[in-house]
Structure 1
């Protein structure tokens, strides 16, 4: 008896199988993705401002004093300060002698530097120094911000925007709901 029920159940299942066949895209509870064929992919652009500061350099003419001129003036001032201090030290006594020595050194330094400057010709050398500055620089460029993708699934066409180009196929979520009347 059980054998005949089993044979009857198997035969009924084989005969009814095509009536209960699962259509394309049917979600049977397994987590395997469904795929749709991509018909068209169109990049979407957006104009953006790009700031790229740049360095701008140029050669600027400058004058340099001959270093020998400065050395002679400094040496003249130093010799004048020593000579003035020695001469000032000859006058006065005690605190007056110290003040006379200091005053002699100051006056001697000025006289010595002036004499050295008057007797040393000022020679200037012309040259160039590179000067640089950072200047703002910007431009507008078009950047791809996404892709408008048209795909076909279940005989219908759909369009969506994606942040990437999906290629020839796109994974889709299929959700079958009973129709409410």
Structure 2
């Protein structure tokens, strides 16, 4: 075999290998270093916290009735009505007036005692409580719309990335916030 033919073959093989390496490098590592951010939307969550809200209120109550059948009022009314009826007329008319006065007075006494009992009230203060919900907003992340290699997509991030999202060497998004060290 000719020496120059051998040198040419070796140099050709080296050239093809180098060309393939450059082409592979430009395909893998030659892409963009970042994705372009198109829109950022903060995502909030509503937090509801229950708490007790209490206030003092005036409450009016009726006192307990000791004479539910209103016997005392009926009896006093009947006696008073009977005495008044006895003052009217004479003979058997006096007896009828006394009985009628006693019946009317008994009824009137019963009604007066009932009215007095219904107005016999007292007022106390009671504490009334109810559960209310306090609402607050908590930022849980950001929905980020981005464009990479002509394709539009969306991802949720824990921080606002600004105008660009960096990519790693494999062309994937770096979603964790990178700390910048001062140089």
Give the TM bin, normalised by the shorter chain.
0.3 to 0.5
| TM-score under structure 2 length normalisation | 0.34
| TM-score under structure 1 length normalisation | 0.34
